[in-house]
Structure 1
Amino acid sequence: MYGRFRTWGPGLLVLLPTIGLLGYFVYGLIGATLNTSLTAQHAARRGSYPYVGFENYANLFAEERFLNSLKNLGVLTVAFIVGTLIFGLLWALLLEKGVPGESIFRSVYLFPMAISMIASGVVWGWLMNPSTGDDARGINRLFHLLHLGFLENSWWSGTSRWTNMLAIALPAIWQLSGYIMALFLAGFRGIPPELREAARVDGASEFKLYRHVLFPQLSPIALSALIILGHMSLKLFDLIYAIAGPSQFRTEVPSVYMWNTLLRSDMAKAAAIAIVLLAVVAVLVIPYVAYTVRQESAER
């Protein structure tokens, strides 16, 4: 027994502070949030509140505003993931060819990541200002100069959920495409040159080389990027808040709705929204973690 402890005991002692902190500040607070969501605590005052079970969740899914926020989140997630993957892969393809000044292009593509979401949201909110006429600014002004008047004011017109959420997704795509580009570029550079040479010797065209040899090698990276982007889109708050503000019903997502609910001191309802978001994130992340563990086990 003592011999076993000498083997794994020192490592456990080193990890104990981290385990304790994670246990309290992550899982302990998740447990407290879950507990609050099952009570009738609709005020910020401390005290004893009766348990109402899943009544708060039932009320949420019967509420039009919450269902609207979920639909907005779905549109935002699809637009954000598709747009970021397309631009990230496109930029990686361009740089993978070894263009002159590659380091400059890499820096330009990655620069938006250095900007905070709040600052980016403020600037993009100004660019998408819906003012018209001689004082039209930002994107509307650009549409006006390009004689694309049918696009003016469509960003915040409220007539289309897709249009409104695409206006939110656009700055997020601009900011995260460089990160996805770096992932794909690292994947391209990690492919052995022998695979390319063997395919060319066998007479494969450039299209078939990428389609049948290179892209399949990038599938693990594409899956990782998909999970990362999906996880980030579900938690977008600061960018949306900076662009649309707290009271934009047509661009509200669950995270913003949770914040607005918390400001009204409805603790139980805000906690229920937080647990719903956690469950959605878990649906994305847990299968990915299980898949990764199986892959690593198979490679050993």
Structure 2
Amino acid sequence: MKGFVSRYGAPVLMILPSILLIGIFVYALLGVNFWTSMTDNHTAAQQAGQEPVAFVGLTNYIDLLMTEQFRHSLANLVLFTLAFLVGAMATGFVWAWLLERPLKGGRFFQTVYLFPMAVSFVASGVVWRWLLNSSQGEGASGLNRLFQLIGLDFLQNPWWNNVTFGILAIALPAIWQLSGYVMALFLAGFRGVPEELREAARMDGANEWQIYRRVIFPQLTPMLMSAIVIIAHMSLKSFDLIMSISGASAYQTKVPAIDMFVFKSGFDYANSAAVGAFLLIIVAFLIVPYLVNQHRERTR
């Protein structure tokens, strides 16, 4: 025991504060959230301790899945995540591919593409709320007004006010804001490929497309996986951008994070916690396989 303390005592003491903080403010609070989600704590009186709170198991989860509104929120989340992920990945990759080649003013364009990252979702949401104004005809503004001025009236649409696909309009500012980050990841990957590999491929008779397909693209797999996990993770938790553009009461753009806020504002802590648990489970399905794969790569 004395040998163990002398060998590991100092390292354990160094990391003990972090272990305690993470244990209390992450895992303990996650436990509290899951417990709350399995109670009938739906009113302010229960939250204040004036009425009893009973354990109801998975009833809140089942009830949420049975409601059309929450299923609509989940469908919106899927649409938003797919549009955000595909749009940001495609746009960021194309920008990185263009800037990877020697280009006059390349650093200027990198700065321009990265600049939206410095703007908060709340600030950009205020601007995009005006750009995505649904008014058409003589009262049009934002993008609808631009389409009208350049003779593309047929492109005018209700944007986020569309009940079925309105959430896709919210993906536009998200793509605009995060494409620069994806570009930076891919650009680092492009420039991390040794020039010797490219030259060796050329000497073997490979054309430029074959070099990209056989040499460069396989080297970008870690960046691709990191970008997918980060973008998907951010899209699942999207809240501030949606609140800034459409607000919490818009049925068209409801997602689970908005539902969680609405439930909590109405003192329905049980359903709010259940929605949070749903989001945690969805994120875990994305993150855990990635972490397992990364661990296997490191231990090979």
Deviation at 1:156, TM superposition (A): 3.5
Deviation at 1:46, TM superposition (A): 2.9
In structure 2, C-alpha distance between the alignment counterparts of 1:14 and 1:59, rounded to whole Å: 46
Aligned-residue Cα RMSD (Å) equals 1.2
In structure 2, C-alpha distance between the alignment counterparts of 1:4 and 1:279, rounded to whole Å: 38
Deviation at 1:159, TM superposition (A): 5.2
In structure 2, C-alpha distance between the alignment counterparts of 1:29 and 1:200, rounded to whole Å: 56
Deviation at 1:35, TM superposition (A): 0.6
| Equivalent in the alignment of 2:76 | 72
In structure 1, C-alpha distance between the alignment counterparts of 2:229 and 2:56, rounded to whole Å: 34
| Equivalent in the alignment of 1:290 | 292
| CA 117–156 in structure 1, closer or farther in 2 if over 3 Å, else same | closer
| Equivalent in the alignment of 2:6 | 6
Q: Where do 1:1-300 residues align within 5 Å?
A: 1-44=1-44, 45-47=47-49, 48-158=52-162, 160-161=164-165, 164-298=166-300
In structure 1, C-alpha distance between the alignment counterparts of 2:246 and 2:163, rounded to whole Å: 16
The SS at the match of 1:119 is: helix
Gaps of 5+ in 1: none
Residues 160, 167 of structure 2: 8 Å contact kept: no
Residues 160, 170 of structure 2: 8 Å contact kept: no
Deviation at 1:221, TM superposition (A): 1.1
In structure 2, C-alpha distance between the alignment counterparts of 1:119 and 1:81, rounded to whole Å: 21
In structure 2, C-alpha distance between the alignment counterparts of 1:4 and 1:96, rounded to whole Å: 53
Moved more, 69-78 or 97-106: 97-106
In structure 2, C-alpha distance between the alignment counterparts of 1:272 and 1:140, rounded to whole Å: 39
In structure 2, C-alpha distance between the alignment counterparts of 1:201 and 1:268, rounded to whole Å: 65
Deviation at 1:151, TM superposition (A): 2.2
In structure 2, C-alpha distance between the alignment counterparts of 1:6 and 1:185, rounded to whole Å: 47
The one-letter code of the counterpart of 1:7 is R
Deviation at 1:157, TM superposition (A): 4.5
In structure 2, C-alpha distance between the alignment counterparts of 1:99 and 1:152, rounded to whole Å: 36
Deviation at 1:139, TM superposition (A): 0.5
The one-letter code of the counterpart of 1:43 is T
In structure 2, C-alpha distance between the alignment counterparts of 1:217 and 1:3, rounded to whole Å: 46
The one-letter code of the counterpart of 2:42 is H
The one-letter code of the counterpart of 2:43 is A
- Among all aligned residue pairs of Structure 1 and Structure 2, give the percentage whose two residues are the same amino acid: 51
The one-letter code of the counterpart of 1:270 is S
The one-letter code of the counterpart of 1:2 is K
Return the TM-score normalized by structure 1: 0.95
The one-letter code of the counterpart of 1:233 is S
Aligned length: 296
In structure 1, C-alpha distance between the alignment counterparts of 2:163 and 2:2, rounded to whole Å: 71
